[in-house]
Amino acid sequence: MTLLSVKDLRVTFDTEAGVVEAVRGVSFSLGRERLGIVGESGSGKTMTGRSVLRLIRPPGRIDAAEMVFDGQDLMKASEREMRALRGQRIAMVMQDPKYSLNPVMQVGAQLMEGLRQRDRLGGAEAKKKAIAALEAVQIRDPERVMAAYPHELSGGMGQRVMIAMMLIPNPDLLIADEPTSALDVTVQAEVLSILDGLVRDRGMGLIFISHDLRLVARFCDRVLVMYKGKIVEELAARDLLAAKHPYTQGLLNCLPRIGGDRGPLPGLDRTADWARA
Amino acid sequence: MAMNTSLLNGRLRMVLGFVVSLVVTIFGLLLVTFIIGRVVPIDPILSIVGERATQAQIEAARVALGLDKPLWQQFFIYVFNAFQGDLGMSIRTGEPVIDAVTRHFPATLELATIATILGVIAGVPAGVLAATRPGSMADHVVRLVGLMGYSMPVFWLGLIGLLVFYGQLGWVGGPGRLDAMYDMMYDFEVPQRTGMILLDTAFAGRWDMFANAISHIILPAGLLGYVSMAYISRMTRSFMMNELGQEYITTARVKGMPERRVIWVHAMRNVLVPLITVVALSYAYLLEGSVLTETIFAWPGLGSYITDALMVADMPAVLGGTVVVGVAFVALNMVSDLLYRLVDPRAR
């Protein structure tokens, strides 16, 4: 069953220096599966993710031949309908909890905001749900975390709070935009496994955006490789090593291997035909 | 338990730090005014005894004023007196400076407070409106109106305002704080608890007088409020634009929060942090700097008191007024510092 279908998505920015195309005709569809989007910075992967929520700030503009989520045309939806989808059915975890949590609001207030404002729950009930959500991301003393401010949390804690917050309404689709890139390597694995478990248990669709090919391959069912705003290759995660596109191969070659040779790693050859399109 | 005591220690240290910085600042303020009082080429004795005084009279006046003592002793006497509320005698009127200042200061405080309230009420929404629609008509209007407030001389605006709204249209009261009739009544019939006419008349339930005071204060306060609004709206616009570009705003939108809430709750709470400082500065500026407005509107405030004193070289009055303005400035800064800590958990 298709949850999300995107055809010929374009994101353009009208800047003073001219029109910049960040996403140039991306098409993909997604069921209740885990789709990875990889690419270097500026490849348009973040913009693709945010387009689904229609959260591109002006002067950015979204165009698509089709963008349908669970039977609902996102391109034609009113702002009000989009708001009903956001948070409730489509959620997003961003890169760095230092910036993605409101610095002057207590964690608890931010966690309960959706429950209180949208679902109109009473304080006690909202608190119960928020605490349950924090326990689901393996936070041991949820009461203390609820009363804390974001700057009092570590990066790993902050990101777990973010995940808990986004998963409270049990969305059908989660967009995880580099959810572990800002974290220490030691914490990355922990946060990933929490995210993995929750997505699996609740059977939601996941778009996992990352620049880390290996990570994506291990974590997702299917991988889209983006370069300069276009999808250059789509393949099943297990076939990653058999990638045909020179860009994908180039990315793979850039990674060091345990037991590999210790010479300098090769860079990307951007002079080839594929890189000029 | 350990956490509680450390928290208490933190609070205690904060309060102590506040008190120390307050005392040091006021001490420094007194030092500066003291030095100014000694270096200005005005002979305090001459202005008391007159040009034809004998040497013996001059000497007697010197001793009476304590000017025969060494400078450092004079300074400490000055500080000691100042902390007891004694700012010396006015040369012009012979009355204690502190009495004159306590009479004039409430008028300035009242004017500056109303002006600041107007500036915030108009400036913050205008700045937010401009920030949320950059490049729109509303943005251009807000910026143009702000620019006019920045660049038009206050005295000119004040005169034109009086001409149009008082002289031609008769919508507002003229110069002064009350009509002449009410002025007398205020002195005799209303208990002057605060010296601020709006408050005093409200406490006394004299709403006719209250309305008259409003009609008098509205033009000068509106004028100063406009200047303060120009500054506040510009700063609000830039602070708000900065916050709206932050990632936590995206988070709030991802959670499906309506734009109203995103702006007025999520962004505004962060905008408040720097905005408090801006409002406090603008308030302080009005407390010390509305001399022109007070002159045009015959407003018997501290600014016009100091200016009048300066014209006749009444240095104790000038310096005493300066000290009071300085203390108000320091107090205002401390309040803004406290509020700042209240809204920004990172500053605690």
Reported as a single tens digit per residue, the pLDDT across A88-130 is 899 999 888 889 999 999 998 998 988 888 878 888 888 888 8
Residues 95-154 (B) with a CB less than 8 A from some CB of A: none
Nearest to B106 by CA among B197, B206, B221, B180: B197
Which residues in A14-45 are b (16+ Cβ under 10 Å) and which e?
A: eeeeeeeebbbebebebeeebbbbbbeeebbb
List the structure tokens of B330: 């320091």
CB distance B246 to A99 below 8 Å: yes
pLDDT(A64) > 90: no
CA distance B250 to chain A (A): 8
Q: From the centroid of its chain, how far is CA B325?
A: 8
- Dihedral sign, Cα of residue B43, residue B47, residue B52, residue B55: negative
Q: Determine the Cα–Cα distance for residues B19 and B26; give it in Å rounded to an integer.
A: 11
**Widest distance between CA atoms in chain B:** 86
CA distance A58 to chain B (A): 10
Please give the average per-residue pLDDT across B48-65, as a whole number: 79
Residues 6+ apart with CB under 8 A from B86: B96, B98
pLDDT(A275) > 70: no
CA distance B173 to chain A (A): 45
pLDDT on residue B238: 94
Map tokens 């900065």 to a residue: B242
Give per-residue pLDDT as tens, B266-308: 999 999 999 999 999 999 888 876 778 888 888 888 888 888 8
Out of A50, A57, A113, name the one closest to residue B255 (CB).
A113
Give per-residue pLDDT as tens, B67-95: 778 888 888 888 888 888 888 888 778 88
Structure confidence at residue B120 as a pLDDT band (50, 70, 90): very high
pLDDT on residue A101: 92
* Mean pLDDT, all residues of chain B: 85
- The reply to whether A170 touches chain B by the CB within 8 Å rule is no
Give per-residue pLDDT as tens, B244-256: 989 999 999 999 8
CB distance A53 to A91 below 8 Å: no
For an interface test with A, which of B241, B248, B266 has the most A Cβ atoms less than 10 Å from its Cβ?
Answer: B248
Report the run of H or E that residue B156 belongs to, with start and end. Answer: helix B154-161
Structure confidence at residue B4 as a pLDDT band (50, 70, 90): low
Please give the average per-residue pLDDT across A23-48, as a whole number: 85
CATH topology for the B104-347 domain: MetI-like fold (1.10.3720)
DSSP assigned state of A101: S
| 3-class state of residue A19 by DSSP | strand
pLDDT on residue B1: 43
- The reply to whether A200 touches chain B by the CB within 8 Å rule is no
Q: Alpha helices, DSSP H only, in B40-162?
A: 44-49, 55-65, 71-83, 97-132, 137-151, 154-161
CB distance A173 to A90 below 8 Å: yes
CA distance A93 to chain B (A): 8
Instruction: Give the relative orientation of helices B302-311 and B268-289 as an angle to the nearest 10 degrees.
Output: 30
Nearest to B33 by CA among B333, B334, B325, B286: B325
Out of B245, B255, B270, name the one closest to residue A103 (CB).
B270
Please give the average per-residue pLDDT across A146-157, as a whole number: 88
To 10 degrees, the CA torsion angle through B334, B338, B343, B348? 120
Give per-residue pLDDT as tens, A45-61: 888 888 888 988 878 88
CA distance B7 to chain A (A): 15
pLDDT on residue A272: 64
Contact B255 A114 (CB under 8 A): yes
Percent of chain B with pLDDT over 70: 96
pLDDT on residue A271: 66
Cβ-based contacts of A118 with chain B (< 8 Å) = 256
Higher local confidence (pLDDT), A274 or B136: B136
Contact A100 B248 (CB under 8 A): yes
Please give the average per-residue pLDDT across B99-118, as a whole number: 91
Contact A114 B254 (CB under 8 A): no
pLDDT on residue A277: 59
Q: Determine the Cα–Cα distance for residues A75 and B24; give it in Å rounded to an integer.
A: 63
Q: Determine the Cα–Cα distance for residues A194 and A178; give it in Å rounded to an integer.
A: 15
pLDDT on residue B116: 95
Give the bridge partners for A32, in sequence order.
Answer: none
Out of A87, A99, A101, name the one closest to residue B254 (CB).
A87
DSSP assigned state of A224: E
The residue of chain A nearest to residue B258, with distances taken between CA atoms, is: A83
Q: From the centroid of its chain, how far is CA B104?
A: 13
- The reply to whether B254 touches chain A by the CB within 8 Å rule is yes
List the structure tokens of A139: 């936070």
- The reply to whether B180 touches chain A by the CB within 8 Å rule is no
| Ordered domains of chain A (ranges, CATH) | 4-256+271-275 (3.40.50.300)
Return the number of CB contacts < 8 Å for A and B: 78
